[in-house]
Amino acid sequence: MQQFKTLMLREWLQQRRSWLLLGLWTPVIAWALLYIVLIYQGMPQFNSATISDAAKVASFGISTQSSMVLYIALIGVLLTIPGLPYRDKDDKSLSFWRSLPINEANAVIVPVLMNALLLPLLAIVLAITLNLLLSAPLWITHWTALMGANLLLTLIGFSLQALLTLLWFLPLVLLLALGNSAVRRWGMVMVLIGAFMVQSLLGSLSNDAPASRFVDIYFSGLFGVIDQIDLGRFLSASSNLSDQVGNLLRFAINPPFVMALLISGLCLAALIWRRKAGQSA
């Protein structure tokens, strides 16, 4: 356990700056710009019967900013995880880490856990929390008990949505990492080409089987879970956040999501085996 914590601390010290910058400073800069625009241009008029103009602007700002941070976090994961098999070799620390009595499984699992799940999730949760706080001047005067419940559901729901999105995204980046560990750089291209070729082959054998559309199902599921929580209406009296959170919980127990977790586990096992065999750094 101490070794696991030490490896987590290493990832935190190396990667914290970029993720904290994303989670803390991106909302601050975005809201500062929005308030400057409102000061000079005035409050836009929407004439909505269910939500005030200021709350509408707040909802728009929170939705836009939080979604942007989520997408940037996914891009960060996509750029980081496939390069992990050769990271120690590239930064010339391989001999140092190889000289330590580090469990090979921990050496693979911890960087994936930190860079694909915990650090991105931290940045996203920080961003949505800051967005809610920084938008308060726009909706605090219209505070109601229902709005308080919606704010709590928004924080819980968007955090759960971010976690499920990152878990759903994990098989893709781990497959790319596995391909990169087998054939450096070109391995990722081979994984993508292979996935589309397999889908085409299965499609020619059976047009109705879900397996013949697994690439389409995967990406439709990814964008489906990203759009599950409607931040654009959460301050409205007609918001249905409880139903949206329920949909997320149902998504977490459906067969495709469980299959994605199983594929992630198999990819991690393969990466651990390749590291133990000395076939990757």
Distance CA 80, CA 92 (A): 17
pLDDT digits (tens, 9 = 90+) for 74-120: 999 998 888 887 765 655 555 555 555 577 788 888 999 999 999 99
Give the per-residue pLDDT at 100: 58
Q: Which residues of the chain have pLDDT under 70?
A: 48-50, 87-101, 183-192, 194-216, 232-239, 278-281
Give the per-residue pLDDT at 142: 76
Give the per-residue pLDDT at 207: 60
Residues 260/171, Cβ–Cβ less than 8 Å:
yes
DSSP 141: G
Print burial letters for 215-250: b (CB count within 10 Å at least 16), e (below 16): bebbeebbeebbebbbbbbbbbeebebeebbebbee
Give the per-residue pLDDT at 253: 81
Residues 26/80, Cβ–Cβ less than 8 Å:
no
Give the per-residue pLDDT at 212: 53
Give the per-residue pLDDT at 150: 79
pTM above 0.75, yes or no: yes
Give the per-residue pLDDT at 73: 95
